[in-house]
Amino acid sequence: MPSTPYLLIADDDDDDCFLIQEALQEFDFPAPTRFVANGQELLTALEKEPFNGLVLLDLNMPLMDGREALQKIKQNQTLRHVPVVVLTTSNSQEDIQLTYTSGCSGYVTKPNSFQDLVSMLNKLSDYWFETVHMPPGTGRHA
């Protein structure tokens, strides 16, 4: 795996994945992007090789939803430090509370417009790929 951080997006909605990819291209996102369609695929991808980057996690997916995937990631000694930002349509206070209690790094509701999606992803990119320094052992390998 390359040492360059990458963005791993778990979302089963093909339209949302397409819009996210288009939005990232709007501002020349600085990292490679990979998509998986459910929590099982996400866990497989994270366990396959050392992870270097950020996970964007939808909550409502088939086979294993984002809530269960987040809990499994944060309970896994090797994966627990992987930053996971929930990106979902849910505004539910119960989902917000549950995901933060489970260890998510942030919770963002999917914007309603393409320009708002571009803006939100640009802000996430600036923060996670330009500003934040991760501690040793998080999967960010030099």
Taking only the tens place, the pLDDT of each residue in 40-72 is 999 999 998 778 889 999 999 999 999 999 999
Predicted local confidence at residue 20, as pLDDT: 96
Q: What local confidence, expressed as pLDDT, does residue 135 receive?
A: 56
pTM for the whole thing?
Answer: 0.89
Q: Where are the domains of the chain?
A: 6-131
Per the structure block, which two tokens stand in for 73? 């990631």
What pLDDT shows up at residue 2?
A: 42
| Among 128, 116, 129, CA closest to 23 | 116
| Sheet with 33-36, side-by-side order of all strands | 33-36, 6-10, 53-57, 84-88, 106-109
Tell me, what's the pLDDT at 4? 66
Asked if residue 31 has pLDDT above 80, the reply is yes
CB 56 within 8 A of CB 10: yes
Q: What percent of the chain has pLDDT over 90?
A: 75
Percentage of the chain lying above the pLDDT 70 cut: 91
Statement: residue 93 has pLDDT above 90: yes
What CATH number labels 6-131?
A: 3.40.50.2300
